[in-house]
Amino acid sequence: MNDTPSSPDADSAPNSAKEHTLLLRGGEVHSPADPFATAMVVQGDRIAWVGSEGAADSFAEGVSETVHLDGALVTPAFTDAHVHSTATGLALTGLDLSTVGSRTEALAAVREHTVARPCDRVLLGTGWDTTGWPDRRHPTRRELDEAAGGRPLYLTRVDVHSALVSTALLDLVQGVTELPGYLPDGPLTGDAHHAVRAAAHATLTAEQRTEAQRAALRQAAEAGIGSVHECAGPTISGAEDLTGLLRLARTEALPRVTGYWAEAVTSAKDAARIRELGAVGAAGDLFADGSLGSHTAHLESPYADAGHTGSALLEAEDIAAHVASCSEAGIQAGFHAIGDAALRAVTDGVRAAAERVGVGRVRAARHRIEHAEMLDEDAIRAFAEFGLTASVQPGFDAAWGGDHGMYAERLGRDRARTLNPYAALLRAGVPLALGSDSPVTPLGPWAAVRAAAFHRTPEHRVSVRAAFTAHTRGGWRAAGQDDAGVLVPGAPADYAIWRTGELVVQTPDDRVTNWSTDPRSGTPGLPDLSPGGQLPVCLRTVVGGRTVHARPNG
């Protein structure tokens, strides 16, 4: 790579006789190949050249099409490293309770949805969160039965680790009252929740599922996201859901989908099953514990607002067997782990696996941990030692962090301040991949970059550039691909065009001037993401040279 403006020559010029070539010019191109780039050439599905406006003149006559950017910013398309597409789409096309402010509003929304969907076998909704409601009380089952008109109703909490259900839905699940996590008149967790979720989602038709998946991927494209990592599994969405989503992404103009299947692997046959499904790893939401909001994340010490330590769903021995088998098979392993006790079980298990198959083999497989919120110094060192990727969601801190947020309520202020230590992870050399866990937090990559750079706990903040890299190139690397997520010649033509304000170089340090517009720094600028400012607007998203989103009148 060259840090000075590139010049076109006969060998690098696109051959318009062979395939479509596109020249973008007159903007700002965010590329390490040239920090001053204003133009880019795309040949087919690859980036062919990046450079200066003057050099772009040499391409103008030989390309199939020219796009005048009018000062717009071109960046790599984002990768959202943790998504649940069908659930996201159902929230978009169905009942979304994330904005309701009280139990009364929630019940009114259920009534309205019940009337609007007379043919649905099960009414589906998501996003409720009592921590912001005046009385902090969830609806009773009797209230839900009345609001749903006696019909089956399934409403997941915002973290999707517990759910409120109606009596009619319970009647569809034989033996549910005997399962762990069942409460006579409260949110269901654990096995009881998984059972009612499976029953509810089993009622979706293939058309409903595809409609939801298409809606989710289109929203991702509108947000400048060119690829998503789908975290599927037998207790989450089902095999047909994953294979259908992968097929949809291949056949329509939509973002790429990288699939993960959360099922334990202990043999070559199990590993073959992962590949048959089209997944790249037995990872994603293979649950070592639950969530903080639902009091099911596994903690070393009890919750501040509950007299228990949550749920341990995997032991270190189970984790070791999974990681060793995946390492030997050459596929990624991974786990959902949030609480400090769960993360200790994961790192102990990975260490035991490394003793069996060798550290080199474990590191080569690039195993990943989702969420990884309650990390202490020992856990961070283990992540670095074994090459574990931390797949994290800055939107969690934006939603629930701070001295008076849900984290502080669940853990107490001191423990809450230790959560999501992004700066410490980067200092230790731990790879980061950013995502949303949508529908838990919205698809919104610039908001996620802002949340990481302006973390509610200042010592955990990272630079905008580091967060941006983790949300672009970091997602590709988390899936084992190093040649994408950056605008350089030869890379996949996955990019987004943005309308934005002045470009700056921001750092997370409040003790000094924290941004600069001086071009002499040689660092490509990014939008000013200071809290309260307007986020960039996506004008176009392109995946593999094909437009998957174009903003009307953009």
pLDDT digits (tens, 9 = 90+) for 251-294: 999 999 999 999 999 999 999 999 999 999 999 999 999 999 99
Cβ count within 10 A of residue 12: 15
Residue 547 is inside which H or E element, if any? strand 546-550
pLDDT of 517 reads: 45
> What is the pLDDT, as a whole number, of residue 296?
95
Which residues have a Cβ under 8 Å from the Cβ of 180 and sit 6 or more positions away? 190, 191, 192
206-222 and 85-93 are packed helices; what angle lies between their axes, rounded to 10 degrees? 90
Q: Which amino acid is at 24?
A: L
SS3 205: coil
Question: Both tokens of residue 188?
Answer: 């269901």
Distances (CA, A) of 113 to 117, 149, 249: 6, 11, 29
pLDDT in tens, the chain (554 residues): 333 333 333 333 334 335 899 999 999 999 998 989 999 999 999 999 999 998 999 888 889 999 999 999 999 999 999 999 999 999 898 899 989 999 999 999 999 999 999 988 999 999 899 988 998 899 999 999 999 999 999 999 988 889 999 999 999 999 999 999 999 888 999 999 999 988 988 888 999 999 999 999 999 999 999 999 999 999 888 899 999 999 999 999 999 999 999 999 999 999 999 999 999 999 999 999 999 999 999 999 999 999 999 999 999 999 999 999 999 999 999 999 999 999 999 999 999 999 999 999 999 999 999 999 999 999 999 999 999 999 999 999 999 999 999 999 999 999 999 999 999 999 999 999 999 999 999 999 999 999 999 999 999 999 999 999 999 999 999 999 999 999 999 999 999 999 999 898 776 655 333 444 444 455 778 999 999 999 999 999 999 999 999 999 76
Whether residue 124 contacts residue 154, with contact meaning beta carbons closer than 8 Å, is answered with yes
Give DSSP secondary structure letters for 39-105: EEEEETTEEEEEE-HHHHTTTTTTSSEEEE-TT-EEEEPEEEEEE-HHHHHHHHHSEE-TT--SHHH
The domains of the chain, with CATH numbers, are 21-77+488-500+536-550 (2.30.40.10), 82-202 (3.10.310.70), 284-479 (3.20.20.140)
Cα R_g (the chain), whole angstroms: 24
Q: What is the side-by-side strand order in the sheet with 39-43?
A: 46-51, 39-43, 21-25, 65-68
Residue 156's alpha-carbon distances to 142, 300, 408, 494, in angstroms, are 17, 26, 22, 34
Give per-residue burial for 182-212: e unless 16+ CB within 10 Å, then b: beeeebbbbbbbbbbbebbbebbeeebbbbb
| CB contact at 8 A, 197 and 163 | yes
Single pTM value for the model: 0.90
Residue 518 pLDDT: 46
Residue 513, pLDDT score:
35
